[in-house]
A and B are shown apart, each in its own frame.
Chain A
């Protein structure tokens, strides 16, 4: 449900940057902690883009992993061995193990955003 307003938001941004040209592809970055479900975005996009210059555009999702940083030594933790786990499980495991420096003072520093990277547009008459 909450994917609808964010879908409308990136659709608006894409159309603004397309400046009257047809949008063929939209490249998005979805953090694993962002609680955005790509399949749901697709459904809303199909509905919201109807009769706009982005109708029929392909959506490309790059999934960004959860990233955590040690607040004491500044290291970014290697969480790759748990990459198939759910984000909250990754966090739990990281907090139990801590940083290699021994600190458990960790912060989530990545995988929380939903970004619009770029769009592909067809050449327009005056561009």
Chain B
């Protein structure tokens, strides 16, 4: 005779508990943490490079880079002159809280203003794994197709901000910025949307202002 044991928990609960611990530690350091999610090639690292270059001297930014393999992205960030830790997932398709916890051993965030986590390029898997971030940012580039939000609703549903990248290519491709924006806002009307080009610099200032605002907001909430 078997016995039924009720559990009633999210499968990812262990990860979420660890992430809550990280979030508390980040709050104590008064650090704003962003988790950047996008498909491969959307321009996550390019957005990071522009962000760091522009905020250099104003804000101290630390970066955690997640990739299946190689330290190419970490080298790109280090070249811009910010502390960076590379996590190689060994083929794993997303980052988990325990990897962030381990990265913290190598990254001193006591003087940091902002920690940016670049997740593994993937629009499906990272959405269910809390990393202790304050804000999930989804980056979608225009050439990927303006129907991207409809195909990967979870990424857009769980994010608080959307960066539409490569908008300078609009004249040359069928995909339209307005359509991508509309599709994303249908799924999540609360999204803060930024239309940027990391090549021309278009829209980057609005994105930076938003980061500044979120940092101020967090710091006034955590006294």
A residues with CB within 8 A of B:
1-2, 5-6, 9-10, 12-14, 17-18, 24-25, 28, 33-35, 71, 87-88, 91-92, 95, 105, 107-108, 112-123, 127
- Ordered by A's residue number, 8 sampled pairs between the chains whose C-beta atoms are within 8 Å are A1-B125, A2-B125, A10-B11, A13-B14, A17-B5, A24-B2, A105-B189, A117-B8
Selected contact of B187 from candidates A9, A24, A25, A91, CB within 8 Å: A91
Residues of B within 8 A of A112 (CB): 154, 157
* Contact of A114 with B10 in the complex, beta carbons under 8 Å: yes
Q: How far is the CA of A117 from the CA of B127 in the complex (A)?
A: 21
* Contact of B8 with A115 in the complex, beta carbons under 8 Å: yes
Known pairs A12-B14, A14-B7, A114-B10 / 4 extra A-B pairs, C-beta < 8 Å: A2-B93, A24-B2, A88-B153, A108-B153
* Contact of B11 with A18 in the complex, beta carbons under 8 Å: no
* Contact of B10 with A115 in the complex, beta carbons under 8 Å: yes
Residues of A within 8 A of B154 (CB): 33-35, 112
CB distance from B99 to the nearest CB of A (A): 11
Among residues 1 to 58 in chain B, which have CB atoms less than 8 Å away from a CB atom of chain A? 1-15
Interface flag for B92 (CB, 8 Å): yes
* Contact of B7 with A17 in the complex, beta carbons under 8 Å: yes
Q: How far is the CA of A9 from the CA of B93 in the complex (A)?
A: 15
CB distance from A122 to the nearest CB of B (A): 6
* Contact of B7 with A118 in the complex, beta carbons under 8 Å: yes
Residues of A within 8 A of B92 (CB): 5
Q: How far is the CA of A102 from the CA of B122 in the complex (A)?
A: 36
Selected contact of B5 from candidates A9, A18, A28, A35, CB within 8 Å: A18
* Contact of A121 with B2 in the complex, beta carbons under 8 Å: yes
Q: How far is the CA of A120 from the CA of B94 in the complex (A)?
A: 31
Interface flag for B96 (CB, 8 Å): yes
* Contact of A13 with B11 in the complex, beta carbons under 8 Å: yes
Q: How far is the CA of A35 from the CA of B151 in the complex (A)?
A: 11
Interface flag for B107 (CB, 8 Å): no
> Nearest residue in B to A6 (C-beta to C-beta)?
B11
Q: How far is the CA of A95 from the CA of B183 in the complex (A)?
A: 10
